[in-house]
Amino acid sequence: MSAPSGDAAIGDVAVGTEPAGDAGGAGPVEGAGIRDRIDSGYGRLSPREQRAADFILDHLDDLAVYTATEIAERSGVSKATVSRLFRRLGFTDAQEVRDQARASRSRGVPVGPTRASGGLADHAEAERRNLDLMLSGLADGRLERAAALVAVAERVVVAGFRNSYPVALHLRQQLIQARDDVRVAPQPGQSIGEELVGLGARDVVVLVGFRRRPAGFAGVLSSLAARGVPVVLIADPSLRGVEVTVRLDCPVETPAPFDSYAGAMSLVALLAGAVLTETVTAGRPRAGRSRVAEITELYAELSELE
């Protein structure tokens, strides 16, 4: 559908005027996202501006790639109406709207193109790029340093919150086959404080911290540092300005709306394998291959596996 041309399309209002029926009310909420700005000012928009706003609300995932012209064409209004709508909402232009949408995506907010673009090929390329970046970051020996810490520690706590928790849980499941006394935290429905109390310099916390971390994440790092607990951090590059014992970076961004943890699971396999090797080198009792053999025997004894 082609968009009506000109600023004076029926139903539009001139810049700086208020549509009839709602002349008062607050202006745009400074710093708010476009959804909140539309919700707070919807009643003051003209009918055509409301039509464009309705389209935007129905296609928030695409804002990072839509131009003002595309929004106008798809909502059946003029480009001038869309530009005026953005100004009413407190944005300078469509580019600022796209920038805000992209910034949200960089923080892990699930927005992004839902239309077919490169499809599976683009996704596969993004996964390969993430994997290459993760592997190149290990070239300086940090994987081996992390494995050595985990292998010889008296106790290991693998901690993760929100979307990081499944990665932490899987890492714990791998590590417990290589050595004893490995816990995952927090337990479902519980806080993390009781899991960290009593830890010290002879222990290690593997902290998984991918983006959209909870507000208390920095506090956990500070508490561990204050107690002298070594920390192996697994995170994406969005986490900056933190000091830990060893950091393992793993990008998670893809063209899809949601982050991908394929690289993170690959890193889990690498770290767990390196810990298994290190326990053999360190001669840790009831660890390494002897522990794997004992676990395998118990699997058979309990008929737990096919």
| Measured distance CA(176)–CA(188) in Å, rounded | 19
Backbone angles phi, psi at 247, to 5 degrees: -115, 135
Q: Report yes or no on whether pTM surpasses 0.75.
A: no
Residue by residue, pLDDT tens for the chain (306 residues) are 444 444 333 333 333 333 333 333 334 444 457 777 887 778 888 999 999 988 888 777 667 778 889 899 999 999 999 999 999 888 888 888 877 776 665 555 555 444 444 578 888 888 998 999 999 999 999 999 999 999 999 999 999 999 999 999 999 999 998 888 899 999 888 888 888 889 999 999 999 999 888 888 999 999 999 999 999 999 988 888 889 999 999 988 877 777 889 999 999 999 999 999 888 776 665 666 676 777 777 777 777 777
* DSSP class of 212: S
Q: Where are the domains of the chain?
A: 1-115, 126-302
Tell whether domain 126-302 is in CATH 3.20.20.10.
Answer: no
Name the token pair of 50.
Answer: 């409301």
CA-based nearest residue to 76, from 43, 47, 111 = 47
Structure tokens at 285: 């009792």
In CATH terms, is domain 1-115 a member of 3.40.50.300?
no
CB atoms < 10 A from the CB of 196, how many? Answer: 19
